[in-house]
Amino acid sequence: MTLGDTGHSEEHRRLEMALEVAGLGEFEWDMAGGVLMVSPRMAAITGFPVGPMPAAGTRSLEPFIHPDDFAAFRASLADQRPAGGQYEVEFRMRPTGGRTVWVRVTGVLTRDPDGKPLSVTGIVEDITRRRLEEDQRQTLMAELDHRVKNVLATCQALALQTAKRTTSLDAFLTNFGGRLKAMGSANELLTAARWRGAAIDHLAAAELGAIAPGQTGWEGPELFLTPRAANALALALHELAANALKFGALSVETGRVNLRWTRLADGGFEISWTESGGPTVSSPTRRGFGATLLDQVTSRELNGETSIDYRPAGVVARLRAGAAAVAPRPETVPEVPAARAPETVATASGPANLRGARVLIVEDAVLLAMELESGLSDAGASVIGPAYELEEALGLLNQPIDAAVLDANLNGHSVTPVAEALSRRKVPFVFATGYGEAAGAPGGFDAPVIRKPYDVTQVAAAVAELLAVNTPHP
């Protein structure tokens, strides 16, 4: 062996090592002879047989490429052909053993003097992990977008509902600001726990810890709540605390509030709010939005029930939650963060005319459903529902419906079965959703889409337009 042979062998060995470390597989495609030479490394990545295999054209590779990607594979090669002699394409291999492999193929084309393709030399890279990470990022971004829009839409509905039940700007700012602060504290706890949930004692500390020092106390077993239940309980505690500060035990220095919770045999929990040492209590003559929140929102979101007893010695409230409100405790639970200052959002103008229309509302966020019901009723509609769950919505389809407002996702279940049933009956509907599908309406339905956060007058106007379009003219 000559010195030159030794140098060439060493260079080849280094190249082999580099390909091995990089996880790359090499190939040589003799296009003139119709033969593809597959290396062992490429075979390990793609599933191609090692050695020579017939490959007269790209059609010969079809059995190895995912059927959904083959057309795009050929089109990509055709698009790159005029640019010169380099190619780069990404596609999925046909699944083997239940595993789908993404590959990136890079090659250099050589031609004869007349420009006829002779061969392609290139490498194959397994990019499955990268593509999965990209897909996960896209999924997380879509979920974040949905969550943020739902929070903003809930704030908007909270502002409108608060405004309808207050008689002055100062009262509105106080009531709404407090409710928004309660939501902010709960969301801060949820964010700190990566949205796995929040501990009851942290929720209690966030709401009661800063008010009337020395007059509040809380105790109970360690319980970790789902994000939905945590938000609901935060609002409930705020409403009770606001009422105690204004009219109850915390309105005087001698008053006290005790919060206790116990675990129930069915996996849920019961929490009791007891006021003492304050002024004599009597039942309210007017039902405010706070009472509505406690009665409807909390009991719905906690999958349980709420009771308030206006005893002369002090208010006693009990909130019972189902097992679905309790989440597994994470390995580490963050400390209670400091409360944030409230923010405000703008309200909107009046609704369209829906006099006599029977409109179905399907929305899993109770506050948003309440706002929709209020706004559509103000516009003259006869509201059917609201339905908060998929089965509940399907159960309401056996009655006359002129139009519907649908949330795309109901507690993790697609609203598609409801949309399909309405489509078969030729009942028009509009999607009111926090998901940002770029391709139009969810599920590919031919329906208007209103993105959260929205003004209920937008929904009313969309429903009115649907009814106008679908009303036969004489």
Q: What are the φ/ψ torsions at residue 269 (nearest 5 degrees)? A: -155, 165
- 22-126 has CATH 3.30.450.20 classification: yes
Q: How confident is the model at residue 22 (pLDDT cuts 50, 70, 90)?
A: low
Instruction: Tell me the three state secondary structure of residue 412.
Output: coil
CATH code assigned to 165-325: 3.30.565.10
Q: What confidence tens digit (pLDDT) does each residue in 277-298 have?
A: 999 988 887 776 677 777 776 7
Fill in the amino acid letter for 281: V
- 358-470 classified as CATH 3.90.650.10: no
- Helix boundaries (H) for 23-55: 40-46
Please check whether residue 85 is in contact with residue 110, taking contact to mean a CB–CB distance below 8 angstroms. yes
Please determine, for residue 136, whether its predicted confidence score (pLDDT) is greater than 50: yes
Beta bridge partners of 414: 409
Placement of tokens 């009770």 in the chain: 240
Region 132-153: what's the mean pLDDT? 74
Write down the residue that tokens 């010169």 correspond to.
84
- Residue 426 burial by Cβ neighbours in a 10 Å radius (0-12, 13-18, 19+): exposed
Q: Mean pLDDT throughout 69-89?
A: 78
Cα separation of 35 and 56, whole Å?
7
Lowest average pLDDT, out of 304-318, 365-379, 449-463, goes to: 449-463
Cα–Cα distance for residue pair 247/164, rounded to 1 Å: 21
Side-chain half-sphere CA neighbours of 260 within 13 A? 5
Q: Rounded to whole angstroms, how far apart are CA atoms 135 and 86? A: 27
Domain with CATH 3.40.50.2300 in the chain: 358-470
What pLDDT, in 10s, does the model give residues 228-271?
888 888 888 888 988 898 889 999 989 999 999 999 999 999 99
Cα–Cα distance between 439 and 58 in angstroms, integer?
31
State the span(s) of the chain assigned CATH 3.30.565.10.
165-325
pLDDT of 133 strictly over 70: yes
Chain region(s) in the chain for CATH 3.30.450.20: 22-126
C-alpha–C-alpha distance, residues 207 and 178, integer Å: 10
Which position has the higher pLDDT, 316 or 144?
Answer: 316
Q: Report, in angstroms and rounded to the nearest whole number, the Rg of the chain calculated over CA atoms.
A: 32
Phi, psi of 121 (to 5 degrees): -110, 130
What pLDDT is attached to residue 337? 46
What pLDDT does 288 receive? 67
What DSSP line would sit under 345-359, residue for residue? ----------TT-EE
What is d(CA 2, CA 8) in angstroms, rounded to the nearest whole number?
10
pLDDT score of 323 more than 80: yes
Which amino acid is it at 236? Answer: A
Q: Is 472 helix (H, G, I), strand (E, B) or coil?
A: coil
Asked if pLDDT for residue 74 goes beyond 70, the answer is yes
For the chain, counts of helices (H) and of strands (E): 13, 20
